[in-house]
Amino acid sequence: MNDGNAKHRDYLNAARSAGNCLECHTDDLEGTGTNGALRGSSRMTADKQAGDAGQALLDMDHDVHQAVKGHQSRPSIKLLSALSDIGDQPQARLLCGGLIVAGLARKDGRMIVAGVRMLVAHELATATKTAIKHRIDRKRPRAASDREDEKPEAGDSREKEDSSFPSGHSAGAMALASALGAVYPRHRGSALLTGGAVALAQIPRCSHYPTDVGAGIAIGVAADGVVGLAWRIARSVAMRVLPRLR
């Protein structure tokens, strides 16, 4: 009889343990499900916010283009367009080369360094914007026929009118301005203002949207930043190594 009661108690204890384990597993599953739902909700919220921000930028591009289109034939815009061509590749390279030659003629090492740094920064910015242009298609404002044409999308078109993003003039101009300002700090403000004016001139020309220009400016500044960092590292290494070779 005692043995029967003991067995009965063992069965009850085993049943209680099983029930407790089942409750624990149920709580764990509920917790996992809740956490997963929260993570999924957070991702959806972040995606929606990113989508809203992107649409807001596209709306801004569209509104600005609508405000400036039709004015390209004005004399003031034509003059601005001609002056802004300094940001184009041939003119920029000619400017850098002229600065280097002038520095050599005057035996002005600082001017030579400015010309070289400007050229290297410009070429890096040009390579970067070209790589992006070859991966993103976007109709230029003057060639867009509807809102869909204004949207950037993945693509590899080499057509000029499909390569609005990013602005190459803006990238080149800001690379030159940043490099010149780094070598001549006293003239940094005027250099950056000039580069910014060249970049912004692309909007009334209907060559680029504001976001194209913004991306180009960022590329130009970043390109000179990389060149400046590389220059400081090279100079530091040279200062350590050259004395040992004497």
What digits encode the pLDDT tens for the residues 67-108? 888 777 778 777 877 778 877 899 999 999 999 999 999 999
Position with higher pLDDT, 232 vs 17: 232
Burial of 185 (0-12, 13-18, 19+ CB in 10 A): exposed
The residues, any chain, with a CB within 8 Å of residue 11's CB and separated by 6 or more, are none
**pLDDT at res. 78:** 78
Residue 34 clears pLDDT 50, i.e. is over it: yes
What is the average pLDDT across 13-24? 53
* Residue 210 tokens, joined: 């504001």
Q: What is the pLDDT of residue 22?
A: 47
What is the pLDDT averaged over residues 150-173? 93
pLDDT of residue 176: 97
pLDDT in tens, 43-64: 777 776 777 788 899 999 998 9
